[in-house]
Structure 1
Amino acid sequence: MLPFYKKYWRTAFDIALIVLTVYLIMFAFSYVYRIATPIFFAFVIFICIEPLAKLLNKWGIKKSIASGISVITFTLVILGAFSGAAVLIKNQGEALIDKFPTYQRVFAEQVGNLTAELETQLDRLPSDMNLSEEAENLIAGATANVQSWAKGFLTWLIGSVSSFSSFLFNFVLGIILAYFLSIEIKTWKQTASEKTPRTFKTAFFFLRDNVFRGIGSYLKAQLKMITITFVVILIALILLRVENAFVIAVVAAIFDVLPLLGVSTLFIPWIIYLFIVGKVSLAIWLSALLLVVIVTRQILEPKITGDSLGVSAFTMLAFMIISLSLFGVAGVILSPILVILLKSLYDQGYFHRWIRPPAGEYDAPAKEQDNELSHP
């Protein structure tokens, strides 16, 4: 073991420093996010209101008035949309939760009937074995777990939109800060340009060119894709006269955000349930809807998203899960940025300079081999 440690200790030390740096960044961000949440809200709101404020300012309106008009417009649109969505999610979510026991009972009864019919066709089964009871018990346990998980998810969703006070406080402070930031943005840019050290400027330009622009374009593209998915599913469910269509479409959109999951995570169990309980027509229509959503996404995604960020869905989801466990919501917010940053650093060769490889473990590049042959 000693030769192994001698060979790899430098490499392990360099990797440990990078991991420690990432951990400290995540820890610092999660701490700052907890104590300064309105400031992060302010930056997001500023990004949303500044285009309109700039446009009005170009038309000759004073910047303070233009920013005020933009803030008021943004506030009315967001509060109106959020309030309406919150009411629908709360009402339809509670109605859906109340019907879960009925769905479970119907599903268990239908499976019991199917197994009882199967039992009558199988004369070779032992006389002391009641297949229908065994199946009912198995299905009851499985559906209870699914029901518990679904109730927990919907309860979390309803609770998130119902606990409006904390969000409203941060949102109001964020709007106020965003308004003043919109007015003072030129002063802040000038101060940053004059007072920021060159090293930090270089780091900022690297992040801007290699990380922030890519993430911004990716988020815009994903928002378009999620909106298309939500609208298609909502309209289809309304046409099919499915109850609680809005909350189901919202849940489908949430699953569509998550890497590796997608709307199939919601629709496939639902379709299987409908086939078992005898609602074949609705199951077929939902299967067609799922196929349409998947095909539409496969066709539109390359055109909307353009170049990929170059990070696999598994890597992104795994990093988000670990970040959520360690740092909460702040970790989920920062994790995509860090993953893209690490990918950019690797692509541009920084890791090759920062991490010293163990001696003799990698072949020398062809150019170095030629030099060695020409100068023995």
Structure 2
Amino acid sequence: MSFLANKENILKIIKLILSLLFIYLFLNYIGGLFLPFIIGYILCIILYPLFKILNKRYKIPKHLSSILCISTLIFLVVFIGVGVVGQIIKEGKEFIKDLPFYINSIKLTFDQINQSIKGFFTILPDGLERTVINFFENFSSLVGEFLSNGLKNTSIKVIKKVPNALMITIISIISCYLMLIDKENIQKFIIRQLPKKYSDKFNIVKSGIGDAVFGYIRAQLIIMCLIAAICFIGLLTLKAPYALFIAVVIGIIDALPVFGSGFIIWPWALYNVIIQNYGLAIGLIIIYVVILVTRQIVEPKILGKQIGIHPLATLMSIYVGLQLFGVFGFIIGPVIMVVIKALQNENILPKWR
């Protein structure tokens, strides 16, 4: 019995490895070709409750219900884009325009720190003194180079991808329209292609994984928006420049395990201490404390019964995802981890001991 149990567990692990390999190959080599349709399917899932209300309750034809759903989505996106996103882009452009000034200011600050360090370490032996000073000088030059070239190169890459993004958006909307009007038949067709033993479990697995994945994504988006709102209110109170743009960036960074909002706030506060802007430094620390307390109180309630993942596992999944799938790996990595945990909860994969 022990041998058979171990054999069954080994087979499950082999299936897991093969499944992950298939997901990697599909997303890395084929997934890009189907990206608009994947996005269209996600939009279809989001809009389907509204579609059912319009079609079933109010007896609006499927084609018209689908058009109304997509029109509502486009209206909301445009409305938010013109307002909130427009302001973020405006502040982002102003930030990039003023970036050379901030870079020079940071470089001057590091130069002053280097001079102070040189004076402080004169008491050390010559060899150790030279080593320490070289370290800080190299670190200062690396920071300056990153600020000068890193953001510039990133901006160029983003601009080059705009035409392709527009085409993906159009195809995604069209595919979403087609999927909405025929979602049930498409789903039945997919189920029919599965082997009998898998198709019987399809609804159970789909329900468990769907709830876990979308619950996880929804919870993270809610937390990101909450953190960004706290930062925005705090930065407005402090009269900090580019408040909305920086608040959104902090909200996104805060979603990263280990790094968090402190990855931006603490260096910013330290810089203001160095330039003797103590009011802004204290204000930033207060914002950080409020974010920390809010996350500790709210996160368990928002995640609720969703599948929990250890921060280290989440960090590993993000890193591996970024290495395998590029920028989309930031989302794909944790989602794969959530899927694995959901499959374990459904007893399809063996649980960790």
2:246 pairs with 1:248 = yes
Q: Deviations over 1:4-35 (max 9, x none)?
A: xxxx9999897556424421222123323211
Aligned to 2:324: 326
Mark the CA change 1:151 to 1:86 in structure 2 (over 3 Å): closer, same or farther. Answer: farther
| Correspondences of 1:31-180 after superposition (within 5 Å) | 31-57=29-55, 58-82=57-81, 84=86, 87-88=89-90, 90-112=92-114, 114-115=116-117, 138-150=135-147, 154-155=151-152, 158-159=155-156, 162=159, 163-180=161-178
One of 334, 337, 346 as aligned partner of 1:336:
334
Aligned length: 343
Amino acid of the structure 1 residue aligned with 2:298: L
**Structure 1 Cα separation of the partners of residues 25 and 258 of structure 2:** 27
Shift of 1:195: 6.7
**Structure 2 Cα separation of the partners of residues 314 and 176 of structure 1:** 39
One of 280, 299, 302 as aligned partner of 1:301:
299
TM-score normalised by the chain length of structure 1: 0.77
Q: Of the two structures, which has the highest relative contact order with CA contacts closer than 8 Å and spacing of 6 or more?
A: 1
Aligned to 1:218: 216
Mark the CA change 1:159 to 1:239 in structure 2 (over 3 Å): closer, same or farther. Answer: farther
Aligned to 1:259: 257
Q: Deviations over 1:169-211 (max 9, x none)?
A: 1011111111121122243345456675432323422432332
Identity %: 23
Q: Deviations over 1:112-152 (max 9, x none)?
A: 56457758xx8x678x89x8x99876544323323444556
SS of the residue aligned with 1:328? helix
Shift of 1:345: 4.0
**Structure 1 Cα separation of the partners of residues 247 and 149 of structure 2:** 18
8 Å CA contact 2:36, 2:172 repeated in 1: yes
**Structure 2 Cα separation of the partners of residues 46 and 203 of structure 1:** 23
Which 5+ residue runs of structure 1 have no aligned equivalent? 1-7, 356-361, 363-376
Shift of 1:263: 0.5
Relative to structure 2, which stretch is displaced further, 56-65 or 78-87? Answer: 78-87
**Structure 2 Cα separation of the partners of residues 51 and 9 of structure 1:** 43
Shift of 1:291: 0.5
Which 5+ residue runs of structure 2 have no aligned equivalent? 1-5
Shift of 1:161: 5.5
* CA RMSD across the alignment: 3.6
Aligned to 1:29: 27
TM-score normalised by the chain length of structure 2: 0.81
**Structure 2 Cα separation of the partners of residues 145 and 255 of structure 1:** 21
Shift of 1:281: 1.4
Shift of 1:289: 0.7
Shift of 1:352: 5.1
Q: Deviations over 1:272-311 (max 9, x none)?
A: 1211221111101100011011111111111111134132
* Structure of larger gyration radius: 1
8 Å CA contact 1:92, 1:247 repeated in 2: no
